[in-house]
Copies of this chain bind each other. A is one copy, B any other.
Amino acid sequence: MDRDRISRLGTTPPEAERASEQLAPLELGLTVRLDRPFHELKEFLVSEFERAYVTRCLEQSEMNLSIASRTCGLSRKHLRTLISKYGITVTRAVASEGDDHPVTEP
């Protein structure tokens, strides 16, 4: 993917991000140049959104998958699929929920 033509904009300045490392920024800013193929851009937008959304959602629910699922309007199955797809590390949820199947990816 040509990163010169597609960019992700953090809406929180780097200083502020360092100051609150526990929680990802509440807002996601995305900019795409519209002169790239449709499917490439759509896939990029959706991926960036899903990754940021699930990360934020899990952090906010303190890695509790049940709470995350409820607050984000996602089924647990869908949530687990997204966690796996983006290789998001979930540590506390596995222990606190007694889940037999870790969803953590390396």
Is A73 close to B, CB under 8 A? yes
Stretch binding the partner chain, chosen from A51-59, A83-91, A92-100: A51-59
Q: Which B-chain residue is minimally distant from A30 (CB atoms)?
A: B30
Give CA–CA (A26, B31) in the complex, Å.
10
**Closest CB of chain B to A38's CB: distance in Å?**
5
Contact A26-B34, Cβ < 8 Å, known A49-B42, A50-B42: yes
Rounded to whole angstroms, the CA-CA distance of A25 and B24 in the bound complex is 30
Assembly CA distance A52 to B41 (angstroms): 12
A binding-site residues for B, Cβ under 8 Å: 9, 11, 24-35, 37-42, 45-46, 49-50, 52-53, 56-57, 60, 72-74
Query: Which residue of chain B is the closest to A44 with respect to CB atoms?
Result: B49
B46 touches A34 (CB 8 A): no
A56 in contact with B27 given A45-B45, A45-B49, A46-B46 (CB within 8 Å): no
Question: CA A96 – CA B57 in complex, angstroms?
Answer: 50
Q: Which residues of B contact A42 (CB under 8 A)?
A: 46, 49-50, 53
